[in-house]
Amino acid sequence: MNAIAYCFANAMESDASAIARGLRRRDPDLLDRLIEQYQHRLLRYLIYLARNRELAEDLFQETWIRVLERGYQYDGKHEFSTWLYTVARNLTIDYLRKKSPLSLDGLMEDEVHAALEPADTRPMAWEVVQQHEQAERISAALVSIPTEYREAVVLRFQEGLALEEIATVTGAKLGTVKSRLYRGLHMLMSRLEGAQA
């Protein structure tokens, strides 16, 4: 069992090292592969961070340009996704600060708290329509909670990041991350209950 875990850890490390080497060379084929590999995860994170799909798509492109330019900063010792989310987060904060020199949450107060439209809008069977409605309810509840809590919830439960990785991405202490997760989930559930009542 230990041998399997060791091999798995080694494989992950060598994969991260290969990515780090490729990024230092600015290898376009590697970047193509990474864009395809992380497309859904990154866009989903950006959508919930920026609460606007169009803006998230712009930031998605800018994130990869930043990865190309600053790829040499990735050391290959940590998960690539953690570094990628950090880059995306910093870009989003920079953009929102340029838009208005207030705090991240203050900036978003004026935005419409509309539910994010799920991507697939084809005609569906009744069960799928129900799922669609449920997804809209969850999205609406998610975008209505404050950014720092929403970010922690999305990174933990949608993107599957470990608590330590979330702390790295957000630059917060581990205890703060735990607290945000608890409060974020609590707010999310309250809003869902409120929507169903």
Partner 1 sequence: MTRDKHDEARELTALGGEGLSDAQRAWLQAHRDECEGCRQYAEAVNGVVRSLRSLPLAADSRLVRATQMRVRFHASRLRETRERLWLVGMACLGVGLSATLSVPLLWRLFAWMGEWAGVSTLVWQAGFMFFFIAPALVVSMLLLARGAHLTNTGERSRQWRRES
CA trace torsion 112, 55, 164, 74 (10° rounding): -170
Those residues whose C-beta lies under 8 Å from the C-beta of residue 163, and which sit 6 or more positions away, are 156, 174, 177, 178, 181
The tokens for 3 are 């041998």
Which 110-149 residues touch partner 1, going by CB under 8 A?
116, 118-120, 131-132, 134-135, 138-139, 142
- In the Cβ-directed half-sphere of 75, how many Cα atoms lie within 13 Å? 2
Residue 131 CB, nearest approach to partner 1 (Å): 7
Q: Are 161 and 126 in contact (CB under 8 A)?
A: no
Which 159-188 residues touch partner 1, going by CB under 8 A?
162-163, 178, 181-182, 185-186, 188
Q: Select from 13-21, 43-51, 76-84, 91-99 the region that touches partner 1 (CB under 8 A).
A: 43-51
Choosing from 31, 49, 55, 84, the residue that interacts with partner 1 (CB under 8 A) is: 31
Choosing from 5, 36, 125, 127, the residue that interacts with partner 1 (CB under 8 A) is: 36
DSSP class of 51: S
Question: How deeply is 62 buried, as exposed, middle or buried, from its count of CB atoms within 10 A (0-12, 13-18, 19+)?
Answer: middle
Closer residue to partner 1, CB minimum distance, 9 or 189: 189
Choosing from 14, 39, 100, 130, the residue that interacts with partner 1 (CB under 8 A) is: 39
Which 73-112 residues touch partner 1, going by CB under 8 A?
none
Residues near partner 1 (CB under 8 A), total? 45
Closer residue to partner 1, CB minimum distance, 40 or 77: 40
Those residues whose C-beta lies under 8 Å from the C-beta of residue 117, and which sit 6 or more positions away, are 53, 136
**Chain centre to alpha carbon of residue 5:** 27
- Contact set with partner 1 (CB under 8 A): 26, 28, 31-32, 35-36, 39-40, 42-44, 47, 57, 60-61, 64-65, 68-69, 116, 118-120, 131-132, 134-135, 138-139, 142, 153-154, 156-158, 162-163, 178, 181-182, 185-186, 188-189, 192
